[in-house]
Every structure is written in structure tokens, then in C-alpha cells.
Amino acid sequence: MTLILSNDDVEKLLTMPDCIAALEEAYVEMAEGRGISRQRSDCITPTTYSDDAIYGLKSMDGVVPKLGVGAIRINSDIVTNPLVGNTRRRVKIPAAPNDRYVGLVLLFSTHNGEPLAIFPDGVLQRMRVGATNGLGVKYMARQNAETLAILGSGWQAETQLTAACSVRDIKSIRCYSPNTENREAFSARMSETLGIPVTPAAQPEDAVVGADIVMCGSNSLDPIFFQKWVEPGMHLSSIKKPEIEPAAIRAAQKVVVHTHDTSPILVVAKGANFRENTKEAGWNAANQLDFKSFPTLPQLIAGYVKGRESDEEVTCFLNNLGLGYQFAAAGSVIYKRAMEQNVGHALPTDWFTETVHP
């Protein structure tokens, strides 16, 4: 049987510590050459939805033989890039029927190739991003780090905080985002969720000054953290390339990236208004840095490179590109728990397999 799971199912089955542990184990497999991941691929075309939007068909996949699974994540997106204040943003539109997004994870067995499970990517998407940056904190932030600043109050920012608090004893958090109402609501909600005071800051400088850890969790296509804010002993963290100014990255004594792939494989159709591929923006941000010269998070976790060596060092983790591998690693936990707890809808595997040679 093939399990069909919902986002609600995934949220109940996978905790942040579970996700961090699954990725940590899988990254060792990747560093040692046993786990593999294919570079993300995006096909970009015009769309009839609106003149300022594009259609994106995105896929990424990976295989963790130790866990007996492979996964592919597929997104069918309508994307716009509005200018909010002075910052260009990446905004997905819930344009499918009933105002919904389209993202799926397909989990397969490496034993016999069968489809094990199919579920939406939304909950796992932001959890695996949070967990990845949480691992950056675990291996690179000071052991005594207790103050944290978050730049952003959207859907990614929440799991950034959850992950950081899973690996460090955080005592206080300050949040800045341009929208006053959003940052105040986010701060109130996360204070209750984490049991830690989360204070809204009127300016980004107010949030980052004196922080042991600064995490960027935004949808910005432009820098939101700058060199002038760097302080000794800080750990910097971003969920995409553009968020931290290149000069601030250079100010760090240790920089680790998620992967040496610096952008997706981009196939852009004529006529697509794809702002994320413009000079010095989006995927072209920070291209003056040699990303291949930086060690990767799997190499750090496996012990091939050193993490923080003193409390005075400035460290930086750049979650520069997601991996389909993450969906396989965390997906194995979700599937195992679902089977143990009898969660989801089981459909005949024959519906998803065939007798005709493909």
C-alpha cells in the first residue's frame, strides 16, 4: 500500500528535534559519499495568471541508501516579485483552485522501487530549512549563546527560532521585520510557543545589537544584514544567498555553506519576467564570493572541517540552496511514524505502478 498523508499528518508525526537528528545522520552519509542529491532544477515560463508573474516547475531529489529511501519534491508555482519598501520580495501566489499552493513529496523504497508515500511539501519544507540552520547553530554558534535576533516574521522565521532553541539554551529573542503588525503578532505568538520572551524591534539595528546569534528568515531578494552590524563572537545565519551582504560574509572567520551548488539549474523561457535571474539579485547575489571554496555543512558535521574554535570568532552559515536529499531523510521518519501509528490513507500501490515497461 502507498500512504497518502496531509500537512496536518506531517506536523503531528515530525518534531523539530526529529528533523534535526534525521538530517544530521543523513549529512554524514552524504559527506562520506553514500548519500546523493541532485541539484535543484527550475523551469520558468510566462503565465496567463498576470503580466508580472511567472510559472515555475521545480524539482529536487535525493537518495539515502542507509535509510532505504529516495524522494523527489515537485512544485508547480505562480511566483511574483513585488517591491515592498526598498526591498524586492519573492511571493508565491496560491493560484490553484480554492486558493491553494501546489507542492508534493514522493517517497520511494530503494529496496524494490515502490512508492511508499505521497504528501504535501509545505510543513516539511519550512521544517527542513529550520533544521538545517539549526545544525549550523549547533556546530558554529558559541556554546553559551543565549540571545538571538531574527530578521523576518514570515512562515520561515518560525522554524528558524524553533530549531535554534532546540540546540541552544536561548534566553531572549528580538524580532525585526518591516511590517509592524506582522512582527508584533509574530513576537507574541512565538513568545507563547517557545516560552521565551520574543520582543519586536522597531529597527533592524535594535534587533541585532549584542545578539549572540543573528538569523535571517525572510523572502527578500536583497541583503537585510550588513557588515556594520557584525560583532565579535556572533553567529550569522541565512536561508538564502541574498540575505547577508557579501562584505558581512567576508567579515566572518569561518563560513560554511549548505552545498557547493550556488543556484538551481535554470531553464527560462523567452518572455518570462524572471527578476530572480537579474544581475546582482536573487540567484546572482553574492556571486563575487567563491562558494566552492567554503566547506559544506555535511563536511562540518562529519568532522572533515572544524567549526567554531574560539568565543571571539565570527561564524556564518549560508543555507544557499535546498536539497531534495533533505526530503528523503526527514521523509523516512515521517513514513516510519505513520506506519507505526496507523496515520494517513493507504491506497493500492498498483495504482502508482505499471506492468508496461517504462
Kindly report the average pLDDT of the chain as a whole number. 95
Please choose, from the candidates 245, 241, 228, 257, the residue with its C-alpha nearest in 3D space to the C-alpha of residue 317.
Answer: 257
Mean pLDDT of 121-129: 97
**Residue of 252, 264, 256 whose CA lies nearest to 291:** 256
Please give the Cα distance from 351 to 300 (Å, whole number): 42
Element (H, E) at 52: none
What's the grid cell of residue 306?
A: 572544524
pLDDT tens across 13-30, in order?
A: 999 999 999 999 999 999
- Which amino acid appears at position 68 of this protein? G
Domains of the chain (ranges; CATH) run 2-124+324-352 (3.30.1780.10), 126-263+274-318 (3.40.50.720)
Residues 6+ apart with CB under 8 A from 128: 19, 23, 322, 326, 327, 330
pLDDT at 284: 65
- Reported as a single tens digit per residue, the pLDDT across 328-344 is 999 999 999 999 999 99
Q: Which amino acid is at 36?
A: I
Q: Which amino acid is at 92?
A: K
pLDDT band for position 88 (cuts 50, 70, 90) = confident
Cell numbers at 202, concatenated: 522597531
CA distance 227 to 246: 8
Strand pairing class (69-80; 103-109): antiparallel
DSSP-assigned letters across all residues of 142-187: -TT--EEEEE--SHHHHHHHHHHHHHS---EEEEE-S-HHHHHHHH
pLDDT tens readout for residues 194-248: 999 999 999 999 999 999 999 999 988 889 999 999 999 999 999 998 899 999 9
Cα distance between residue 203 and residue 191, in whole Å: 19
Q: Taking the complete model, does pTM exceed 0.85, yes or no? A: yes
